[in-house]
Amino acid sequence: MPELTGKTGLIVGVANKRSIAWAIAQAAASQGARLALTYQGERLEENVRELAAGLTDALVMPCDVTDDAQIAAVYRAIEQEFGGLDFLVHGAAFAPRDELSGPFVQTSREGFRLSLDISSYSLVALSRGALPLMERRGGGSILTLTYLGSERVFQNYGVMGVAKAALEACVRYLAADLGPKGIRVNAISAGPIKTLAASGIAGFSTILQHYRDKAPLRRTVETAEVADAAMFLIGPGGRAVTAEVLMVDAGYHATGM
């Protein structure tokens, strides 16, 4: 029997078919999970609805993660439709494009606030909403997506690196808070992948080639590989794992020069 049969999950952050969040949604559905997917704004609604049409009985809703009222509406719909929630996948991330192209010291106050609100605080807000629904199931799993730019300086990553560092700290604090309730909180730090979010990073193709040249496996990673790691963390195999940042980057994080 598929490992997620009878489980329900919320996937936040699907933009198109190249999204890591979408790969995780496909993997979870193939393992028997019933899913709720959210989209950010009308521009992405058509994409997400078309993708969700390929899933079995998926719930599709708008969610601006900076709006607590919309987050609350999502969880009300999940409660009504699913009764509870077993896992949450947080793939929301954003920084204004002009904040990534200049020196970090020139980061604006508003750009900094917006980047950390969407990319970091949203995990806290979504976890808070998921808590009572996961408690009904006797626990659950929360998973977010990060990148090595949280620890090292990458050109044209700027404030997003700071946001990812904050996100990883949120993982640890949430894991400590929610662990006694049987809820695990983890992150996957994936290697660079050509997603919609990556398109905002200048010189991204150079980063990809650098990974191919320097990573121990001499390649980059695919969304399906990240999704497989996600299934471990969401599923029974990861039942004793929490507060972890799992590196899925062909080993690049271990290299020096």
CB-based contacts of 212: which residues, under 8 Å, 6+ apart?
Answer: 218, 219, 220
Q: Which H helix or E strand runs over 182? A: none
Nearest to 219 by CA among 249, 178, 243, 197: 249
- Is the model's pLDDT at 142 over the cut of 80? yes
pLDDT for res 206: 84
- Is the model's pLDDT at 195 over the cut of 80? no
C-alpha span between 219 and 232 (Å, rounded): 22
Q: Are 198 and 156 in contact (CB under 8 A)?
A: no
Residues with active-site annotation: 147, 157
Q: Looking at domain 8-248, what is its CATH homologous superfamily?
A: NAD(P)-binding Rossmann-like Domain (3.40.50.720)
Residue 44 C-alpha from the chain's centroid:
17
Tell the residue number behind the tokens 């994080």, with chain if given: 253
- For 140, which DSSP code? E
pLDDT for res 200: 59
Which pLDDT tens digit goes with each residue over 47-57? 999 999 999 89
CB-based contacts of 248: which residues, under 8 Å, 6+ apart?
Answer: 188, 189, 190, 191, 221, 225, 226, 229
Share of the chain above pLDDT 90, in %: 88
